[in-house]
Amino acid sequence: MMAKDLSVRYDLHPPSGTSVTTSMQTSKTHKFSVPSGTAQQEYYRSLRDAVVAAKEQIGADLTAWRDTIGTLENMKEPGKGKNEGVDDDAEDEDEE
C-alpha cells in the first residue's frame, strides 16, 4: 500500500526588527500522510483526518506568531491595550 502526503507550506513576512525564538520559523512545510490503496470511504476518512491535523498544526504555529507579533505591536503603541474603545462614561453611569 502506497501512502500519499498532504503538504501545507507557509511563508510569513513579519515586520522588520521582529525578534523571535529559534523554534519559530518564517517558512515551514508540514506533511501529513494519507494512505492510498484503501477503500474509498477509508481514504476520504484518512484525508479528512489529515486536513484536520494540518489545520490544528497551522493554527498552533500561527497563534504563536500572532502572540509574538501582537505583543511587539502593543509595546510600540503605548496607551493601546485591551480596554481600547471602552467608554469610561458607561462605567460612571453604573456607579450612580
**pLDDT tens track for 18-48:** 777 667 888 999 999 998 777 889 989 999 9
* Average pLDDT of span 61-90: 68
Cell of 50: 489529515
3-class DSSP state for residue 59?
A: helix
What radius of gyration, in Å, describes the C-alpha atoms of the chain? 22
Q: Is 4 exposed, middle or buried (0-12, 13-18, 19+ CB in 10 A)?
A: middle
Q: Where are the domains of the chain?
A: 1-13+30-78
CB atoms within 10 A of CB 50: 19
pLDDT for the residue 69: 82
Q: What percent of the chain has pLDDT over 70?
A: 67
Choose between 59 and 88: higher pLDDT: 59
pTM: 0.65
